[in-house]
Amino acid sequence: MLYDAHVHVFGPGLALRPGRRYEPRRAVLPEELVEVLDAAGMVGALLVQPSFLADHEDVLGAAAAHPDRFRAVASPSSLAELWQGWERWRGEGVVGVRLNLVGSDVPDLASREWGAVADALAEAGMHLELHAQGGQWRDLAPAAAALPCAVVVDHLGRTREIDDVLGLAVHDHVWVKVSAPYRWPDQGQAEALVAALEERTGGERLLWGSDWPFTQHEDEITHDAMTAAVRTRFPEVARRADANLARLLGDRGF
Mean pLDDT over each residue of the chain, to the nearest integer: 93
State the pTM of this model: 0.95
For residue 182, pLDDT beyond 90? no
* Residue 138 reports pLDDT greater than 60: yes
Distance in angstroms (rounded) separating the CA atoms of residues 30 and 254: 17
Higher pLDDT residue, 187 or 147?
147
| Cα-Cα end-to-end distance for the chain | 14
Closest CA to 70 of 9, 131, 151: 9
Q: In a 3-state reduction of DSSP, which class is residue 34?
A: helix
As a whole number, mean pLDDT of residues 70-77 equals 95
User: Helix, strand or coil for residue 212?
Assistant: strand
* Beta strands in the chain, from DSSP E residues, in sequence order: 3-7, 44-48, 70-74, 94-100, 127-131, 150-153, 174-179, 206-209
What is the share, in percent, of the chain residues with pLDDT greater than 90? 82
103-112 average pLDDT score: 96
Between 136 and 219, the higher pLDDT residue: 136
Asked if residue 11 has pLDDT above 80, the reply is no
Q: What is the 3-state secondary structure (H, E, C) of 150-169?
A: EEEEHHHHCCCCHHHHHHHH
Q: Which of 86, 89, 70 is nearest to 32 (CA)?
A: 70
pLDDT-derived band at 252 (thresholds 50, 70, 90) equals very high
**Which of the two residues, 19 and 90, has the higher pLDDT score?**
90
Residue 217 has a pLDDT of 83
CATH homologous superfamily for the domain 3-252: Metal-dependent hydrolases (3.20.20.140)
pLDDT for the residue numbered 13? 58
Is the pLDDT score of 159 beyond 80?
Answer: yes
- Measured CA to CA, the distance from residue 91 to residue 86 in angstroms comes to 9
